[in-house]
Amino acid sequence: MLEAMAPKTSKLGTSKRARPLSVARALDEGTRTLAAAGVEEPRRDAVALLAAAGVPREKQIGRPGGPVERGGLAAYRGMVARRARREPVSRILGQREFWSLPFNLTPDTLDPRPDSETLVEAALTLCSDRAAPLSILDLGTGTGCLLLALLSELPQATGVGADISPAALRVAQANAQALGFSHRARFAASDWGDGLKGPFNLILANPPYIADGDIGRLEPEVAFYEPREALAGGPDGLEAYRCLAPRLGALLAPGGHVLLEVGAGQAAEVAGLLAEKGLKIRGILRDLGGVERCIIASLATMFAES
Ligand SMILES: C[S@@+](CC[C@H](N)C(=O)[O-])C[C@H]1O[C@@H](n2cnc3c(N)ncnc32)[C@H](O)[C@@H]1O
């Protein structure tokens, strides 16, 4: 009896009698939900999530009146609900593009940021011979994005990606494999270079640089979804730089360069920390937003010039 009276539902829990939604209405519905949740670009994200649910962007534009297939609609609504809880699209999809390469990410890795491409660009301008067999060290490698982006541009280079998080290292290793660079990349557990042997021609690091007390004030996408060890830079945000500064010289090859990402307003202090430990500051580069983002340093001695 009870069974006879229960509404008919599909495996996905949607009513069998529910009319299929058109692409345009699905997009409007998702956009409204995301806007109400305070998502910055609700339409853009609705489009990306609908594409991930099986309705390609061309179809969204070309056939807005066409129906969204039931399974796709359930998947889309599930993803919209996650985004409305302010989970970033890249985390929902488990992937982020960096330097035009696809990187898988997990809750153990930072979601790579376009700002960090400043380091890759800077490193490449320092390489006069892109066919040279350079050795690269990426400290705090996360998804491996900095190291693997450079290996994609420097065909004879090899590198080490180091991180304190074994789970992040597994992600980086898998990304190296998926991108076809695992024969030139090695990954090692290390606390800011401990146990690693140089010399390296290029050392890159994008360390955690948010002051601990500021993390809770960041947008929910960052505060709730990024791994804390990828963000927390101690009471003033500079703890990792203090650990790194005295170790870099011993790992750097003569003529080699260190490239450190810094947070907004940190460049002068971080440059001071490096200079105190005998490194020479070669430049401070801004990201596309005009923020001082990347410090370039090298060994200070005359013999370091090559
Ligand atoms: C801001 S994330 C950068 C990740 C990646 N390089 C990127 O640019 O997307 C900082 C990384 O440093 C790692 N990390 C934190 N403390 C560390 C330590 N003491 N030694 C090595 N790596 C550390 C974190 O696990 C995280 O992967």
Tokens at residue 9, please?
């539902």
Residue 22, domain member (yes or no): yes
* Same domain as 132, residue 50: no
Residue 52, domain member (yes or no): yes
- Asked if residue 168 has its Cβ within 6 Å of ligand 1, the reply is yes
**Tens of pLDDT, residues 36-95:** 999 999 999 999 999 999 999 999 999 999 999 999 999 999 999 999 999 999 999 999
Nearest to 257, CA basis, from 98, 115, 134: 134
Is the pLDDT confidence value at 304 over 70?
no
Taking phi first (over 0 means left), then psi (-120 to 50 degrees means alpha), and beta for anything else, what does residue 21 get?
A: beta
Residue 90, domain member (yes or no): no
pTM: 0.91
- Asked if residue 239 has its Cβ within 6 Å of ligand 1, the reply is no
Distance 51 CA to ligand 1 centre (A): 31
Ligand 1 mutation pick, 151, 165, 196, 212, max ligand atoms within 8 A of CB: 165
* Same domain as 53, residue 108: no
* Same domain as 122, residue 81: no
Residue 156, domain member (yes or no): yes
* Same domain as 148, residue 107: yes
Supply the pLDDT for residue 203: 98
Distance 183 CA to ligand 1 centre (A): 22
* Same domain as 189, residue 44: no
Q: Please, what sign has the CA dihedral across residues 62, 37, 208, 297?
A: positive
Is the pLDDT confidence value at 20 over 90?
no
Atom of ligand 1 nearest to the CA of 165: 25
The CATH number of residue 174's host domain is 3.40.50.150
Q: How many CB atoms lie within 10 A of CB 280?
A: 13
Distance 140 CA to ligand 1 centre (A): 3
Residue 14, domain member (yes or no): yes
**Tens of pLDDT, residues 191-213:** 999 999 999 999 999 999 999 99
Domain hosting 39: range is 2-85
* Same domain as 146, residue 39: no
Domain count, the chain: 2
Nearest to 265, CA basis, from 208, 220, 209: 209
Distance 217 CA to ligand 1 centre (A): 21
**Residue percentage of the chain with pLDDT more than 90:** 90
150-174 mean pLDDT: 98
Domain termination site, one of 59, 85, 111: 85
* Same domain as 127, residue 276: yes
**Mean pLDDT (the chain, rounded):** 93
- Asked if residue 206 has its Cβ within 6 Å of ligand 1, the reply is yes
* Same domain as 108, residue 74: no
Supply the pLDDT for residue 1: 26
Supply the pLDDT for residue 12: 38
* Same domain as 35, residue 120: no
* Same domain as 171, residue 252: yes
Residue 171, domain member (yes or no): yes
CA distances from 81 to 33, 36, 76, 111, 301 (A): 8, 12, 9, 20, 57
* Same domain as 147, residue 270: yes
Domain termination site, one of 39, 62, 85: 85
- Band the pLDDT of 301: cuts 50, 70, 90: confident
For residue 67, how many C-alpha atoms fall within 13 Å in the half-sphere facing its CB? Answer: 8
* Same domain as 197, residue 101: yes
- Asked if residue 144 has its Cβ within 6 Å of ligand 1, the reply is no
- Band the pLDDT of 3: cuts 50, 70, 90: very low
Domain termination site, one of 20, 53, 85: 85
Is the pLDDT confidence value at 30 over 60?
yes
Distance 294 CA to ligand 1 centre (A): 16
- Band the pLDDT of 2: cuts 50, 70, 90: very low
**Alpha carbons 149 and 130: distance in angstroms, whole number:** 13
Distance 237 CA to ligand 1 centre (A): 13
Ligand 1 mutation pick, 97, 104, 121, 164, max ligand atoms within 8 A of CB: 164
